[in-house]
Amino acid sequence: MDIERMLAELTLPEKAALVSGKNSWYTAAIDRLGIPALMMTDGPSGLRKQTADSGTTNINDSVQAITYPAAALSASSWNTNLMHQLGEHLGEEARAEQVSLLLGPGVNLKRSPLGGRNFEYLSEDPLVAGELGSAYVQGVQSKHVGVAVKHFAANNRENQRFTASSDMSQRTLRELYLRTFERIVKTAYPATIMTSYNKTNGTLNSQNRRLLRSILRDEWGFHGAVMSDWGAVANNVQALRAGLDLEMPGKGQASIDSIIRAVETGELDEGTLNKAVRHLLHIIDNWLPADKPGTYDHEAHHQFARKLADDGIVLLKNYHGELPLNPQQAGKVVVVGELADQPRYQGSGSSHVNPTHLTTPLTALQDSALEANYYPGYRLDQSETDDSLMEAALTAAKDADHVIIFAGYPENTESEGFDKTSLMLPENQSELIGRLSKINDHVTIVLQNGSAVEMPWIHSVDAVVETYLAGEAVGEATWDIITGVVNPSGHLAETFPRRLTDTPMAPTFGQDPNHEYYSEGVFMGYRYYDTHEMHVLFPFGHGLSYTTFEYTNMAVDENAHGATVRFDLTNTGDRAGQAVPQLYVANHASHVPMPTKELRAFTKVAVEPGETKAVTLKLNRRDLSWWCEGKSRWQADSGDYEIMIGDSSRDIRLQTKLTMDFKNSPAPVTMETYLSAIVWDPRLQGIFKDIVLAPEHANAANFLANTDDDGNLTLLQDQMFLNMPLRAVIALGGPADLITDFIAAANKH
């Protein structure tokens, strides 16, 4: 396309139509100039292409497509290679369906386990979400299909999602809620970004100039197009002025007319409109599908859905090696729970897919080598116990060698569009687990759920297998893990707290219809639990294997920009397995509140029994930085850092100290500078001693100094004193002239 020529030829109404969206899934076509409509479709875990006549009212009426595991499970793989492959598979399917833009991945952080859409999001940690999200985007786009990374930004609750404001400090926004997007934009060059419904600090995100222009484009260098979430725009003229390029799905002629009017009255500069049109024309030009629809191998894609689920399923507990069950030696096995027959394998709402080939755990059981009898145990459509189903399960389980209970959240409790109110399983399921585990000592729980679950029964069961929402191959993948065909290697990408009330935002989450106060700041997820040394049910990064891993020989080499961390990883068991080494950093150098550890790198490594592999992870300056609000930039401080290698945030296997010397331009010294800042900075302390504590000013300096054993004056290190800015020191009798001289000298450097 000759984009500049087209821009010159487009009329005002045509430009207004282009940036307004034609309908739910298409941009407007301008036939006169040969500009085609661009098709987009949900979603993150499988295509939800709606047929031409179905509209959006029936959200589940879409073409058949492979249903991959929901993001909660695929992220538990911590496997960037598989996430790239997931993207490639989705990309191939999108091309086969002539889709130009795939509306995903969803990369918002799981701030509270009550977030209704957590199943669709990757992690509570911005690095995990950023790395996995970036791999996914690169995979999709390698197949010449664009993505929409969503939902930009700080969209962490569903209730009142169209109007509520996510209110937080700039540091919290930068270090957590923007960080994932920043990483993806800078490493994967996504075609588009989708703004979220909510406001951030009072401004609607789709009309938020600071987010859309200053940060996304000017700072991060984003070159794609910015589209709104469906119905997120309140005022499309303001949105265009703030940096939005495409209102979706558009309000038809009303949207077009308001743009025309705004240009005619001067409210909207036509140059601003042109910018948006230019971004869109580039997207249409870059991502239009080939003329002929492609094809893909359904069975191969289904097998990939199984592989991804195999890699993500998390073995949470395995007391006395209850699992894997060897089909030849398992004895009498009883499977209980209607979810084995009617599994929950995907989320609801815009990520809902119409699967090609669903295998339920019950049907897959027949194809596995395991022999077992099935009892529903409870009814999914009610939360009260059904006595006859319960009794039948109890009778069968009494003399069973192993009992496997399928439990989880029914579909109506977890969806896009509303938040959850509890982390408890339905009462009938809890009661069933309680009663069965009283009469049988070998109980395994298989969970199907979109987000963290409270487990008051955890001590009375032997094994817990977290399958989240495992996609259409849920049946095969479940037995792959239980029977040991696959050695589990999934690790939690979120913390499972013991109780909802342990979460830092428990008292306020979703309480104010207009505001969500992120008062926990950067202390979210494991950053909170670990700093406060709280017990959790299962920590962030946790996941068991049927083999064991040993970490040895850690070495850290620092350079001017960061460090390289090396260690050896040995499979000390007798089965091949995959480990997920996690590198955490504790920052002791910066004088701001810091979590006791933050994840800064990770990898996934396959190791044969007895084999040792050398692993290298890198840290760069940004990994050691924090967002300084005063300077409005990232800052890395000289000083000590603790480097930890763990199997989870609570299972640290190796640790060592790293001392960094970063060349920072010093912060200006003013009358507002605290004495503590002078004491902590050797350069400032030296200048202070030379000027203010010079022997010839002994009288004036007395007020500020101690005399050490050698008769030298040293800066008073009294806590109360350190907590004073220079102007207060003067107000209390300090030498104003000397302090003024000190400020001048300090700023000269």
Q: Which is nearer to ligand BGC, 23 or 685 (CB)?
A: 23
SS3 189: coil
CB 339 within 8 A of CB 424: no
What string marks each residue from 115 to 154 as x (binds ligand BGC by CB under 6 A) or -?
-----------------------------------x----
| Cα–Cα distance measured from residue 239 to residue 258, given in angstroms and rounded to the nearest whole number | 12
Q: How distant, in Å, are the alpha carbons of 32, 46, 195, 421, 739 from that of 39?
A: 19, 16, 18, 36, 66
Closest distance to ligand BGC from the beta carbon of 230 (Å): 4
Which one of 42, 125, 167, 229 is the catalytic residue? 229
In the block, tokens 């592989």 appear at: 307
Do 167 and 516 meet the contact criterion of CB atoms below 8 Å apart? yes
State in angstroms the smallest separation of the CB of 250 from ligand BGC: 13
Q: Is 42 in the site for ligand BGC (CB under 6 A)?
A: yes
Active site residue 285: no
Total binding residues for ligand BGC by CB under 6 A?
A: 7
* Alpha helices (H) along 568-711: 675-680, 682-691, 698-702
**Quick count: other Cβ atoms within 10 Å of Cβ 664?**
10
- Between 228 and 429, CB nearer to ligand BGC: 228
Q: Give the nearer residue to ligand BGC in terms of CB position, either 99 or 544.
A: 99
Give residues 273-312 in contact with ligand BGC (rule: CB under 6 A): none
| H runs (alpha helix) in 123-206 | 126-141, 170-172, 179-188
Minimum distance of ligand BGC from residue 630's CB (angstroms):
36
Nearest C-alpha neighbor of 91 from the set 151, 152, 142: 142
CB-wise, 42 or 454, nearer to ligand BGC? 42
Q: How far is the CB of 179 from ligand BGC (least distance, A)?
A: 20
Beta-carbon contacts of residue 692 (< 8 Å; ≥ 6 apart): 700, 701, 704, 735, 738, 739, 741, 742
Of these, 27, 123, 350, 673, which contacts ligand BGC (CB under 6 A)? 350
Quick check: 713 binds ligand BGC (CB under 6 A)?
no
Cβ proximity to ligand BGC: between 199 and 597 the closer is 199
Q: SS3 for 363-401, per residue? A: HHHHHCCCCEEEECCCCCCCCCCCHHHHHHHHHHHHCCC
Nearer to ligand BGC, 14 or 411 (CB): 411
Distance of CA 467 to the CA centre of its chain: 18
CB 251 within 8 A of CB 20: yes
Which one, 42 or 88, has the nearer CB to ligand BGC? 42
For ligand BGC, give the closer residue by CB, 103 or 365. 103
Prior bond of 324 cis (ω within 30°): yes
Contact residue for ligand BGC among 103, 140, 372, 645 (CB under 6 A): 103
Q: What is the bridge-based pairing of β-strands 639-648 and 582-587? A: antiparallel
Minimum Å gap between C-beta 105 and ligand BGC is 10
Q: Which is nearer to ligand BGC, 161 or 317 (CB)?
A: 161
- What is the nearest approach in angstroms of ligand BGC to the Cβ of residue 246? 13
Q: Residue 235 Cβ, how far from ligand BGC at the closest point, in Å?
A: 19
Residue 521: left (phi > 0), alpha (psi -120 to 50), or beta? left
- ∠ CA 456-462-468, rounded to 5°: 70
**Which residue number has the CB closest to ligand BGC?**
350
**Shortest approach of ligand BGC to residue 115 CB, angstroms?**
13
We find the least distance from the C-beta atom of residue 119 to ligand BGC, in angstroms, to be 13
Tell me whether strands 372-375 and 333-336 are parallel, antiparallel or unpaired: parallel
Residues 681-710 contacting ligand BGC, CB under 6 A: none
How many CB atoms are located within 10 Å of the residue 668 CB?
11
When asked if residue 229 is in the footprint of ligand BGC (CB under 6 A), the reply is yes
Note whether 68 and 45 are within 8 A (CB): yes
Q: Is 158 in the site for ligand BGC (CB under 6 A)?
A: no
Of residues 574-613, those binding ligand BGC (CB under 6 A) = none
Pick the binder of ligand BGC from 136, 177, 230, 409 (CB under 6 A).
Answer: 230
Report the b/e string of 621-643 with b at 16+ CB within 10 A.
bebbbbbbeeeeeebbbebebbb
Contacts of 399 (CB under 8 A, 6+ apart): 332
The radius of gyration of the chain from alpha carbons, rounded to an integer in Å, stands at 29
Give the residue numbers annotated as catalytic, written as ranges.
229
Residues lying near ligand BGC in the complex (CB under 6 A): 42-43, 103, 150, 229-230, 350
